[in-house]
C-alpha cells in the first residue's frame, strides 16, 4: 500500500517504549487496537508489505487513515489498557466476543453480620464472597433457590441490628424460607454458620459438607430432635442430587479452565470448560467467522485476553489447546488479577491433553450443530422472503427490510425504533433509536413522518459527503437503503411514511403490520388493501418476528428514558450528591427506590460516600431538614 504523508509522520514520531496503538479509518472510527513492547518496532511492521502478511492484516492496513498511541510504563499496563479499550470500542479487526456479557455470580454478603445470598452480575471488592462465573442465568437462579430451601437465609435489606425487636416475622418465615434473624429466631453465630455451609457447598466441598451435616443429623437423633434431623437429611439429599450431575475429574484438585477450539472453513468455535475442585461445573462457547490457520494463534491470544478481562474468578491454571503469544506476560497479568500464581499450559500428553481433546470435540460438535441450525434458518428465511414477495406481488425478494415502531405513554417521551432484517435475519448493528423532537402529544402519524424524514434525509446527506471525500458510499451508516419498509400500524401510518418518501425522492414499497383485537399479528396493509397471510406460513412467522423485534426495541428504549428521568427526579436534587456519588449509589443499590429505603449505615458502605453524605441522602428521602 501507499503510505500517506500523515501516516508517515505518525510513524516517525513513534517512541521506542511500551504502549497501545490505535488504528482509525477515514471516518475516524477505530478499526484496530493492539499492544506493543516497543511501539516503534511493532507498528511499523504493519506498513512493510511482505508475501507472508496475512490477508486480514493487508485488508486492515488498506483502511488505516490515521493512528494514535498511548505510552505505558510497562507491558503489563499496555495489556490491561488494550483489554479495556477493546471492550469499550469493539474495533472491526479485533475479534469480538459476540456472546460477551457480564456473567452471573452467586454473591454471599459475608461482610455483613447477617449475610444474604443472591445472583449478581457485578463483582466488587466489598468483602463479600463471589462464586462463579456461570454461563446460565437460569441454572444459577435455580441453584440459589435450592440453597435457600436448604438454608433459609434472609432476602431483605433491613439493618437487623437496628431493627431487632421492632419488626415482626415476615411471610418468608412462615413459609419456611427465612430463619427470621430480625426477631431473634436464630442467633448470629448459628446464622453465620449456615452461610459458611453455603460457601462450603459452592466451593465444591460437597463431600466435606455432607460429612459435617451427617454428624449434625446424628447428634439431633441422639437428642431426640427428630424434626431437625429430618431437615438436615433433606439438605443432604439436595446436595447429593446437585453433586451427581457434575462430571468428576479425579486427578485434578485445583480450579482450572480448559480452552479448546475447532476451526473449519473459516468458522471457529471456542469452548471454555470450568473445572472447580475437580468437578466440571459449567461451560461456555463462542463463534467467530473469517478465521484461518494463519490467524488462529493471534485469535486465541486475543480471546484469552478479552475473556479473562471480563471474568472475576481467575483459576489457578488455564489449559489451552495451542500456544499463544506473550504467554509469560499474560500469566503475570492473570496472576496479578487472581492474587496468586496462575499457570498457562499447553499439554502434549496425559490426562490434560485428553481433556483438551474432549473440549475440542465438543467445540466441533457445537460448530457443526450451529451450521446445521444456521442452514435451516437460512432455508426458512429464503422461503419466507419468497412467500412475502408473492403475497405482496413484489418484483423481487426484499433482501433488506427496515421496520419502524413508535412508543410513548400518553404522548410523553415519544421514541421510535428502526430494526433491520437482511436475508430474513436481524442485523443488530444497523438498529437505530430516534427520540421524537417535533411532535408533542400522542400523534403517531406525525411521529412516523418525522422519523422517516430524518432517516432518509440523513442517508442523502451522508451519501453526498462520502462521494465528495472519495469514499465508497457502502461505508456509510445510513446509506444502505431498504427493499421494503414495514411500519407497525395501519393505513394512516403507511400513508405518513409514503408522503415523506415521495417528498425526498425514494421509491420504496411500504406496508403496515396490523394486529387483531388481542394485539396479535393479523396481516399486512399494502396498496390500500389488507393482505391475509396464513398463520402457518414462513412469511407470517417472519412478519411476526419483525413486528415483535421493532416493538421490543422501541419499548426498551422508552423504558430506559423513563428510568433515567426517574433517577434524575429522585437523586439530582440531593445536596452534596454529585454525578460520581449518584452513579455509585445506583451501582451499589440497583435502583433509586432502593437508595431511598436504605439506612445511614448501609449508605456509608457505598464507595465515595462518607458519613455526612450518607446522612444527607437519608434525611432527604425522609423530609428531615438540618
Architecture category of domain 400-563 in CATH: 2-Layer Sandwich (3.30)
Tally the residues of the chain: 626
What does the pLDDT read at residue 135? Answer: 63
In sequence order, which residues have a C-beta less than 8 Å from that of residue 318 and are 6 or more positions away?
256, 257, 258, 259, 304, 308, 334, 342, 343, 344, 345
Higher pLDDT, 244 or 256: 256
- Give per-residue pLDDT as tens, 192-219: 998 988 888 777 667 777 787 788 889 8
User: Which phi and psi angles does 625 have, rounded to 5°?
Assistant: -110, 130
- Give per-residue pLDDT as tens, 117-138: 888 877 777 778 887 767 667 6
What does the pLDDT read at residue 394? Answer: 92
Distance CA 402, CA 480 (A): 10
Higher pLDDT, 1 or 493: 493
Distance CA 255, CA 278 (A): 7
Q: What is the mean pLDDT of residues 276-303?
A: 82
What does the pLDDT read at residue 245? Answer: 44
| 28 Rama sector, left if φ>0, alpha if ψ -120 to 50, beta otherwise | left
Q: Where in the chain is the domain with CATH 1.10.150.20?
A: 572-622
What ranges in 268-347 are assigned the alpha helix state H? 296-309, 327-338
Q: Is it the case that residue 444 has pLDDT exceeding 60?
A: yes
In sequence order, which residues have a C-beta less than 8 Å from that of residue 327 and are 6 or more positions away?
344
- Give per-residue pLDDT as tens, 516-565: 777 677 889 999 889 988 888 999 999 999 998 998 888 888 777 766 66
| C-alpha cell recorded at residue 90 | 469493539
Distance CA 97, CA 302 (A): 10
Kindly state the helix (H) or strand (E) to which residue 36 belongs, with its residue range.
Answer: strand 30-36
What does the pLDDT read at residue 249? Answer: 47
Confidence of residue 99 (pLDDT cuts 50, 70, 90): very low
Identify the top-confidence range among 77-91, 325-339, 460-474: 325-339
| C-alpha cell recorded at residue 80 | 490491561
For 67, 117, 125, 375, the CA distances from 95, given in Å and listed in that order, are 19, 35, 29, 24
Q: Where in the chain is the domain with CATH 3.30.420.340?
A: 400-563
User: Which phi and psi angles does 578 have, rounded to 5°?
Assistant: -90, -170
For 15, 20, 133, 449, the CA distances from 38, given in Å and listed in that order, are 8, 10, 35, 54
In sequence order, which residues have a C-beta less than 8 Å from that of residue 396 and are 6 or more positions away?
389, 483
- Residue range 256-368, CATH number: 3.30.420
For 15, 71, 77, 256, 329, the CA distances from 74, given in Å and listed in that order, are 13, 9, 6, 28, 11
| 268 Rama sector, left if φ>0, alpha if ψ -120 to 50, beta otherwise | beta
- Cite the beta strand spans of 246-331 per DSSP E: 247-248, 256-264, 267-276, 279-288, 317-320
% of the chain surpassing 70 pLDDT: 89
Beta bridge partners of 129: 108
Pairing of strands 19-24, 66-71: antiparallel
Q: Is it the case that residue 139 has pLDDT exceeding 80?
A: no
**Among 31-40, 82-91, 224-233, 375-384, the least confident range:** 82-91
What does the pLDDT read at residue 92? Answer: 83
- Cite the beta strand spans of 364-453 per DSSP E: 400-409, 412-422, 425-426, 432-435
Pairing of strands 267-276, 343-345: unpaired
Q: What is the mean pLDDT of residues 330-351?
A: 90
What does the pLDDT read at residue 243? Answer: 53
Fold designation for 572-622: DNA polymerase; domain 1 (1.10.150)
**Among 31-40, 122-131, 333-342, 394-403, the least confident range:** 122-131
Pick the CATH number of 5-89 from 3.40.50.720, 1.10.1060.10, 2.40.10.120, 3.40.1440.10: 3.40.1440.10
DSSP state of 561: H
Helix, strand, coil in percent for the chain, rounding step 5 = 50, 20, 35
User: Can you count the helices (H) and strands (E) in the chain?
Assistant: 20, 20
Q: What is the mean pLDDT of residues 359-367?
A: 86
Distance CA 219, CA 213 (A): 10
DSSP assignment of 49-63, as one string?
A: --TTS-HHHHHHHHT
| C-alpha cell recorded at residue 73 | 510504563
The rounded Cα 390 to chain-centroid distance in angstroms is: 39
Distance CA 363, CA 353 (A): 15
% of the chain surpassing 90 pLDDT: 19
- 393 CB neighbour count, 10 Å cutoff: 10
Higher pLDDT, 449 or 371: 449
Q: What is the SS3 assignment for 276? A: strand
Confidence of residue 248 (pLDDT cuts 50, 70, 90): very low
What does the pLDDT read at residue 105? Answer: 82
Q: Is it the case that residue 410 has pLDDT exceeding 60?
A: no
User: Which phi and psi angles does 58 have, rounded to 5°?
Assistant: -60, -40
For 417, 458, 480, 487, the CA distances from 400, given in Å and listed in that order, are 16, 18, 9, 14
Distance CA 623, CA 618 (A): 9
**Among 83-87, 430-434, 438-442, 564-568, the least confident range:** 564-568
Q: Would the pTM count as exceeding 0.85?
A: no
Q: Is it the case that residue 264 has pLDDT exceeding 60?
A: yes
What does the pLDDT read at residue 580? Answer: 83
Q: Are 217 and 236 in contact, with CB atoms under 8 Å apart?
A: yes
Amino acid at each position: 500500500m501507499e503510505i500517506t504523508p500523515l501516516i508517515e509522520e505518525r510513524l516517525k514520531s513513534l517512541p521506542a517504549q511500551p504502549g497501545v496503538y490505535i488504528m482509525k479509518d477515514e471516518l475516524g472510527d477505530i478499526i484496530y487496537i493492539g499492544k506493543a513492547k516497543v511501539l516503534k518496532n511493532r507498528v511499523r511492521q504493519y506498513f512493510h508489505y511482505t508475501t507472508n502478511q496475512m490477508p486480514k492484516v493487508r485488508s486492515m492496513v488498506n483502511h488505516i487513515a490515521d493512528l494514535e498511541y498511548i505510552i505505558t510504563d510497562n507491558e503489563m499496563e499496555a495489556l490491561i489498557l488494550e483489554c479495556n479499550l477493546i471492550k469499550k470500542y469493539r474495533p472491526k479487526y479485533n475479534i469480538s466476543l459476540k456472546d460477551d456479557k457480564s456473567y452471573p455470580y452467586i454473591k454471599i454478603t459475608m461482610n455483613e453480620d447477617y449475610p444474604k445470598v443472591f445472583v449478581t452480575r457485578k463483582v466488587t471488592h466489598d468483602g463479600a464472597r463471589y462464586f462463579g462465573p456461570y454461563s446460565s442465568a437460569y441454572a444459577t437462579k435455580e441453584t440459589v433457590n435450592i440453597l435457600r430451601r436448604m438454608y433459609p437465609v434472609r432476602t431483605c435489606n433491613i439493618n437487623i441490628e437496628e431493627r431487632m425487636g421492632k419488626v415482626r416475622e415476615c411471610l418468608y418465615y412462615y413459609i419456611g424460607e427465612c430463619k427470621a434473624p430480625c426477631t431473634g429466631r436464630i442467633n448470629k453465630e448459628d446464622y453465620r454458620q449456615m452461610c459458611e455451609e453455603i460457601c462450603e457447598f459452592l466451593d465444591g466441598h460437597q463431600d466435606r459438607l455432607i460429612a459435617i451435616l451427617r454428624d449434625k443429623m446424628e447428634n439431633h437423633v441422639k437428642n431426640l430432635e427428630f424434626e431437625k434431623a429430618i431437615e438436615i437429611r433433606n439438605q443432604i439429599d439436595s446436595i447429593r442430587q446437585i453433586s451427581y450431575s457434575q462430571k468428576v475429574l479425579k486427578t485434578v484438585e485445583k480450579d482450572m479452565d480448559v480452552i479448546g477450539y475447532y476451526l473449519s472453513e473459516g468458522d471457529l468455535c471456542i469452548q471454555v470448560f470450568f473445572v472447580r475442585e475437580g468437578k466440571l461445573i459449567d461451560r461456555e462457547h463462542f463463534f467467530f467467522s473469517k478465521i484461518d490457520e494463519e490467524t488462529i494463534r493471534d485469535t486465541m491470544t486475543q480471546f484469552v485476553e478479552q475473556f479473562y478481562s471480563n471474568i472475576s474468578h481467575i483459576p489457578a491454571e488455564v489449559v489451552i489447546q495451542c500456544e499463544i503469544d506473550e504467554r509469560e506476560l499474560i500469566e503475570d497479568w492473570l496472576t496479578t488479577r487472581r492474587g496468586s500464581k496462575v499457570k498457562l499450559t499447553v499439554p502434549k500428553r496425559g490426562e490434560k491433553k485428553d481433556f483438551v481433546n474432549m473440549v475440542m470435540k465438543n467445540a466441533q460438535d457445537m460448530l457443526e450443530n450451529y451450521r446445521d441450525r444456521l442452514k435451516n434458518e437460512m432455508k426458512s428465511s429464503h422461503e419466507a422472503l419468497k412467500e412475502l414477495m408473492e403475497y405482496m406481488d413484489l418484483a423481487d425478494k426484499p433482501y433488506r427490510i427496515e421496520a419502524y415502531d413508535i412508543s410513548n405513554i400518553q404522548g410523553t417521551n415519544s421514541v421510535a425504533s428502526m430494526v433491520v432484517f437482511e436475508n430474513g435475519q436481524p442485523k443488530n448493528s444497523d438498529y437505530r433509536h430516534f427520540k421524537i423532537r417535533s411532535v408533542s402529544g400522542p400523534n403517531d402519524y406525525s411521529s412516523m413522518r418525522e422519523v422517516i424524514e430524518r432517516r432518509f434525509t440523513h442517508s442523502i446527506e451522508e451519501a453526498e459527503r462520502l462521494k465528495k471525500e472519495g469514499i465508497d458510499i457502502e461505508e456509510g451508516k445510513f446509506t444502505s437503503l431498504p427493499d421494503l419498509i414495514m411500519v407497525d400500524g395501519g393505513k394512516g401510518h403507511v400513508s405518513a411514511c409514503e408522503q415523506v418518501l415521495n417528498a425526498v425522492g425514494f421509491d420504496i414499497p411500504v406496508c403496515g403490520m396490523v394486529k387483531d383485537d388481542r394485539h396479535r399479528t393479523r396481516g399486512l396493509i399494502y396498496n390500500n388493501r389488507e393482505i391475509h397471510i396464513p398463520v402457518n406460513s414462513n412469511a407470517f412467522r417472519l412478519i411476526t418476528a419483525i413486528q415483535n423485534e421493532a416493538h421490543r426495541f422501541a419499548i426498551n428504549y422508552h423504558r430506559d428514558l423513563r428510568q433515567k428521568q426517574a433517577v434524575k427526579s429522585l437523586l439530582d436534587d440531593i445536596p452534596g450528591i454529585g454525578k460520581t456519588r449518584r452513579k455509585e449509589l445506583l451501582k451499589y443499590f440497583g435502583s433509586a427506590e432502593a437508595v431511598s429505603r436504605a439506612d445511614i449505615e448501609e449508605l456509608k458502605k457505598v464507595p465515595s460516600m462518607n458519613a455526612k453524605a450518607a446522612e444527607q441522602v437519608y434525611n432527604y428521602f425522609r423530609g428531615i431538614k438540618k
